[in-house]
Amino acid sequence: MRDELKLAFSYGTFKVGFLLLLLTLVLSGLSMYGSSASFQESGHLTAGDVVDFNRPGFYAESVNLTLTSNYAVVNYTSLTTGTVEVRGEYSLELKTLPTLKVENGSVDYTVRAVGERHPFSVLAYVSFVTMLVGIVLAFIGYSRIMGDLGGKK
C-alpha cells in the first residue's frame, strides 16, 4: 500500500490534481462560513423615488419595515408584492429585504433586518473550478500510472 502511494505521488499531474482536490475541500468549507449580522437604514422618500435594500452576501431572516406619513401610496417588493396606503405609521414583517417605490406623497422609512452574512461565498465558484481542474489532472495522472504499470508487465 505504501509503495503504491509513493508511486502515485511520484507523478506530478496526479500529485497536483490530488492537492487541488484537497484545496477544493478547504475553499468550499470557507465559502459556507456565516456570521450573524444586522442591518438598519432610515430615510425619506418622495413620489417617484425607488430604493432597493438588497445587500450582496446578506441573507435576511426577519425584516421589519416601518413607514410613516400623513398620506402616501407605497409599492413594496419582497417575496410578495403589495401596495399600502400609509396614514400615520404602518409596519410590515417581511422575510427578505424589500424594494420600495413611492407612487404618491412622501414617506419616512426605517428598515431593520436580522440575518446572516456569508463574506466568502464567492469562494464557492473558485472551489468549483478548482475541483474540475483537480479531477482532470488526477485522472490524467492516474491514466499515466496505469499506462506505465501496464507497459512493465
What does each C-alpha distance from 7 to 1, 14, 19, 21, 33 come to in angstroms?
Answer: 10, 10, 16, 19, 37
Nearest-angstrom CA–CA distance, 72 and 126? 46
Res 99: pLDDT: 95
Instruction: Tell me: do 55 and 103 sit in the same domain.
Output: yes
R_g over Cα of the chain: 27
Q: What does the pLDDT look like over 30-61, one tens digit per residue? A: 998 889 999 899 999 999 999 999 888 788 99
Q: Both ends of the chain: CA-CA distance in Å?
A: 19
- The interaxial angle of helices 123-152 and 2-9, nearest 10 deg, is 110
Instruction: Tell me: do 111 and 130 sit in the same domain.
Output: no
Instruction: Tell me: do 93 and 74 sit in the same domain.
Output: yes
Domain assignment of residue 83, given as a range: 35-117
| Residue with more model confidence, 1 or 41 | 41
Instruction: Tell me: do 42 and 86 sit in the same domain.
Output: yes
